[in-house]
Amino acid sequence: MIASQKRLAIIMLIATLLLITPLVAMQFTKEVDWKLFDFLVMGVLLYGFGLLIEFSLRKFKNTRTRIILVLGLLLALFLIWAELAVGIFGTPFAGS
């Protein structure tokens, strides 16, 4: 397995583990109440951003460019996640 394929597998494994976390939490507490749609949306976000990160790492060879792009993508992911979770910006995107 070449390095980029191994890196992609690791990124997808991390996304899967993050997606399984609320499923496991739902077995132990009523505080976590995700529906199928929640899992689908988060799956699209996690896997989509994971693929974007892998693409940017393959496309750009300059270390500084890679770091800036990956940090920018992670910031975008966290902002979208926060907006969907609690509506920090109050946009219609979060259902406000």
Domain residue ranges of the chain, discontinuous segments joined by +: 3-94
pLDDT tens for each residue of 46-90? 999 999 999 999 999 999 999 999 999 999 999 999 888 888 887
Amino acid at site 37: F
What's the mean pLDDT when you consider all of the chain? 91
Asked whether the predicted pLDDT for residue 94 surpasses 80, the reply is no
DSSP-assigned states of every residue in the chain: --HHHHHHHHHHHHHHHHHHHHHHHHHH-SS----HHHHHHHHHHHHHHHHHHHHHHHH---HHHHHHHHHHHHHHHHHHHHHHHH-SS--GGGT-
* Percent of the chain predicted with pLDDT > 70: 96
Average pLDDT over residues 2-11: 90
Asked whether the predicted pLDDT for residue 96 surpasses 80, the reply is no
Q: Please give the Cα distance from 3 to 40 (Å, whole number).
A: 29
